[in-house]
Amino acid sequence: MGAKKVKPLADRVVVKPLDEAEQMRGGLYIPDTAKEKPSQGEVVAVGPGKLSDEGTRLKMDVSVGDKVLYGKYSGTDVTLDGKDFLILRESDILAIVP
């Protein structure tokens, strides 16, 4: 069951966090416990959208393949097929980056 087979509900989005550089200048390595949580990732799955009060489906502003910025503490971390992903609401996404 990979991330492509996960179907988020409502306005939720599955994001694969982008790996930050493992090595700093000067050859120093940062241990995993000292690294900050990434705040940029790629959208791998998108829900159908939130229902409005009138019962119509609202269109999502993000789509699969978009690179996005999100808050450091947003969403829920999940592991699928040994890979880490983040499930968050579309409203937790701050921006789409080129």
Contacts of 25 (CB under 8 A, 6+ apart): none
- Kindly report the length of the chain: 98
What does the pLDDT look like over 33-89, one tens digit per residue?
555 666 899 999 999 999 999 999 999 999 999 999 998 889 999 999 899 999 999
Q: Give the domains, in start order, of the chain with CATH numbers.
A: 3-97 (2.30.33.40)
CA dihedral 47, 53, 57, 59 (to 10 degrees): -80
Residue 42: its pLDDT value, please? 95
Is pLDDT of 28 > 80? no
Judge contact between 35 and 20, C-beta under 8 A. yes
pLDDT-based confidence at residue 98 (cuts at 50, 70, 90): confident
Position 20: which residue type?
E
Q: Which residue has the higher pLDDT, 29 or 95?
A: 95
Residue 24: its pLDDT value, please? 47
Q: Residue 4 carries which DSSP code?
A: G
- Taking alpha carbons only, the member of 87, 12, 88 closest to residue 50 is 12
